[in-house]
A and B are shown apart, each in its own frame.
Chain A
Amino acid sequence: MALPLEQYLRVAKMPHIWCPGCGHGIVLQAIVRAIHELGIDTEKTVIVSGIGCSARAPGYLHFDTLHTTHGRAIAFATGIKLAKPELNVIVITGDGDAAAIGGNHLIHAARRNLDITVICFNNNIYGMTSGQYSPLTPQGSYATTSPYGMLEKPFDLCNLVMGAGGTFAARSTTYHARQLTNVIKEAISHKGFAFVDALSQCPTYFGRRNKLRTPLDMMNWFKDRAVPVNAWEKLSPEEREDKFPIGVLKKTQATELTEVYKELIQQLQQRGGE
């Protein structure tokens, strides 16, 4: 069903600043729809972002919102969540924000299993500064700082988060908007650190340079490479070449940091009271 947008958006701030056909609006809508379908208390939900195109998203959301410094959103969110564990804390970050300048914060938040949700608007480029390569830019792709093609290998952010101990990791794309919404719902509902790698198209600064001229070309590029996780399991390494799995890649339960802290405080205060 159509979303009651006034409930979730700061409608007076719309239309947003993103380019025509930018995938970020699709990911943002998936988040809003996930929140709507979950029915979580929007007054008790804080949205935090870093710097970049993705970071502008919270400005359009009718929630408590925090637009922080480059790469630091997860660290700010850590303070919010520990200070007030009753709040739902959702971080919106970009691929440069999360994987380059903020990479350290990402892996440590995953390791701590703090109950926050991180959604990476991954367009594998620095859009806000007009198209430099990021740690997610595919090898060989062109960017203003990789004029001869990207020389480095990109990260797989879900693998990074899972390797660091994150208890929930999922991936989807703007092409798979319904599935994207579903994995965001699962991520928000997950007790513990949850990460969603949301592949989003940047037709302006990535597509144009990489023979994917239209937003649809880019989304089809996602479609052609995305493999549902069940099918992915059965692929040989050769078949996996140039492909990536989508869906929930990891979902496990482990002790969560604010819960552990709550118990510690109770124990110490009982001991103090005796």
Chain B
Amino acid sequence: MAENKARLLQGNEAVVEGAIAAGLRFFAGYPITPSTEIAEQAAAKLPTVGGKFIQMEDEIASMAAVCGASLAGVKSMTATSGPGFSLKQENLGFAVKGEIPCVVVNVQRVGPSTGMPTSPAQGDVMQARWGSHGDHEIVALCPSSVEEAFRLTVEAFNIAEEYRTPVILLMDEVIGHLREKVVLPSKEELTIKHREKPSVPPEQYKPFAMDQGRIPGVPPLAAYGEGYRFHVTGLTHGEDGFPTNNPAIAEKQIKRINEKISSNRKALCKVERFFLNDAEVVVVAYGATARSARKAVKDAREQGIKAGLLRPITIWPFVEDALSEVKANLPKAVIVPEMNLGQLVLPVRRVMGDSVPVIQINKLAGQLIEPEEILSAIKEAV
């Protein structure tokens, strides 16, 4: 094996590298700052590995095409930013309902509306969770370095395939446009997962079975053209995929697609812990903001302050267990810096209750939260 070479890569480029390594062979997108490099890279690279890129007529169509390609059995992805992410919600919901594996990258910029297209933000955290209508669970991952953008893209595909669900890679403009020296893992070092195919003959196949699959509640998925002749609809459907108005069946099915994510929270929720064991002040930060938080915690430690960082890598489902551990140690405060008016702080507050004070640091006009700002909050808290 040749040694893996160090490369200077942009976050958005790393996403495409990771996606292709994970098996991406279909990308449909629409140009939008600051995610456009993902489409450009996909356009250049996919045909060289036998894959296809298409620039669709709009954001809605790209999400639709991604769902179609995935149902034909091909790993698929799209990438966008705020305004486009809003438009994608319709067919993102369809992917949830139809249990269609796919990856949606959202490189966050300042909103609402057109906002500040070239400036970073973390304002779509709650939109990622609740942007599409109706009760549903979603998986969202949040990288805070270029290397992690690569790894989490691979992970996003693995989760999408294993759980038959759309997965959101919730980037921000900083990580998307950041250039870092990275050593990408070789093929052999990566675990690549594929959706489970049905093992029963077509006449017995239930594409939305309640009780089948390696992971309970995640039924195997055939591909179009394989003879299974199955039906996928956005209407609430029974195990056979056909619409139903039977409340008992409808409830069971809606619960199943929620619980296949919520009951696997332990497997899905990833965090990074940095000086957390004896921390008296805990910073909870993600994405680009976590880079400043790490520096702040390091500086605090150098000054003899017991600060620590909990970095949610999985944003949704929420890293409730890791937060509960933090709470059990009864730190003097939890600090949540975010490039928004306070979004992930809401579930953090819910977990901390009255036991631990939760302090917010918020910026929403495209400025980064500096390490010094977090450090002074840490100092104030101790």
A contacts B: CB pair < 8 Å: yes
* A-B contacts, CB under 8 A, total: 136
- CB <8 Å contact, A76 and B72: no
Is B48 at the interface (CB under 8 A from chain A)? Answer: yes
Cβ of B60 within 8 Å of any chain A Cβ, yes or no, is yes
A67 and B231 within 8 A (CB)? yes
Closest A-chain residue to B230, C-beta based? A64
Q: Does B193 sit within 8 A of A, measured CB to CB?
A: no
Where the two chains meet, the residues of B that have a C-beta atom closer than 8 Å to any C-beta of A are 25-26, 28, 47-48, 50, 52, 54, 56-58, 60-62, 64-74, 76, 90-91, 94, 223-235, 242-243
Mask of A198-220 contacts with B, CB within 8 angstroms, 1/0: 00000000000000000000000
Decide: A69 near B64, CB < 8 A? Known: A64-B224, A83-B72.
yes
Q: In the docked arrangement, what's the CA distance between A13 and B233, Å?
A: 15
| Contacts A63-B229, A66-B232, A67-B234; A75 near B47 (Cβ below 8 A) | no
Q: Judging by beta carbons under 8 Å apart, are B242 and A82 in contact?
A: no
- Inter-chain contact B48/A83, CB cutoff 8 Å: no
- Residue-wise, chain A 244-274 has the 8 Å CB interface mask toward B (1 for contact) of 0000000000000000010011001100100
A57-68 to B contact mask, C-beta < 8 Å, 1/0: 011001111111
In the assembly, what is the distance between CA of A68 and CA of B92, in Å? Answer: 12
Is there an interface contact between B232 and A264, defined as CB atoms closer than 8 Å? Answer: no
Q: Could you list 6 further interchain pairs (A-B, Cβ under 8 angstroms) beyond the known A84-B225, A87-B72?
A: A13-B242, A59-B242, A66-B233, A78-B68, A264-B47, A265-B50
Indicate the member of A62, A80, A268 with the most B CB atoms within 10 Å.
Answer: A80
B64 A76 Cβ-Cβ under 8 A: yes
Q: In the bound complex, do residue B94 and residue A68 qualify as a contact, i.e. CB atoms below 8 Å apart?
A: yes
20 interchain pairs, CB-CB under 8 A:
A42-B229, A43-B229, A46-B225, A48-B68, A62-B229, A67-B232, A68-B234, A75-B57, A75-B62, A75-B65, A75-B68, A79-B64, A79-B76, A82-B26, A83-B69, A84-B72, A104-B57, A108-B61, A264-B47, A268-B48
A79 with B72, Cβ < 8 A, contacts A72-B61, A86-B225 known: yes
Interface set, chain A 30-77, CB cutoff 8 A to B: 42-44, 46, 48, 58-59, 62-69, 72, 75-77
Interface size class of A (residues with CB under 8 A): 35 or more
Q: A68-B234, A84-B72 are in contact. Are A79 and B225 (CB under 8 A)?
A: no
In the bound complex, how far is the Cα of B69 from the Cα of A83, in angstroms?
5
Contacts of A76 in B (CB 8 A): 64-65, 67-68
Docked-complex contact B231 and A82, CB < 8 angstroms? no
Q: Give complex CA distance A65, B90 in Å.
A: 20
User: Is there an interface contact between A43 and B91, defined as CB atoms closer than 8 Å?
Assistant: no
9 closest A-B pairs (Cβ-Cβ)? A79-B68, A79-B65, A75-B64, A83-B69, A75-B61, A79-B69, A67-B233, A76-B68, A83-B72
- CB contacts (< 8 Å) of A261 on chain B: these are 47, 52
Q: For the complex, give the distance between the alpha carbons of A65 and B223 in Å.
A: 11
Contact B231 A80 (CB under 8 A): no
User: How far, in angstroms, from A81 to B69 measured CA to CA in the complex?
Assistant: 8
* Contact assessment for A69 and B91 in the assembled complex, using a CB-CB cutoff below 8 Å: yes
Q: With A and B bound together, what is the CA distance between A92 and B371 in angstroms?
A: 56
Q: Chain A nearest CB: distance from B122 CB in Å?
A: 28
Tell me if B47 and A59 are in contact (CB < 8 A).
no
**Docked pose: A265 CA to B47 CA in angstroms:** 5
* A104 and B61 contact, Cβ closer than 8 Å, known pairs A79-B66, A83-B68: yes
- The answer, among A58, A84, A104, A107, for a CB contact under 8 Å with B73, is A84
Contact call B225/A72, Cβ cutoff below 8 A? no
Q: Is A105 an interface residue when CB atoms closer than 8 A count as contact? A: yes
Tell which of B48, B54, B90, B232 touches A78, judged by Cβ atoms closer than 8 Å: B54
Chain A neighbourhood of B229, CB < 8 A: 42-43, 62-65
Chain B residues in 8 Å Cβ range of A87: 72, 224-225
List the B residue with the shortest CB-CB distance to A55. Answer: B233
Note all chain B residues with C-beta closer than 8 A to A268.
47-48
Q: Given A69-B91, A75-B60, A104-B61, verify A80-B234 contact (CB < 8 Å).
A: no
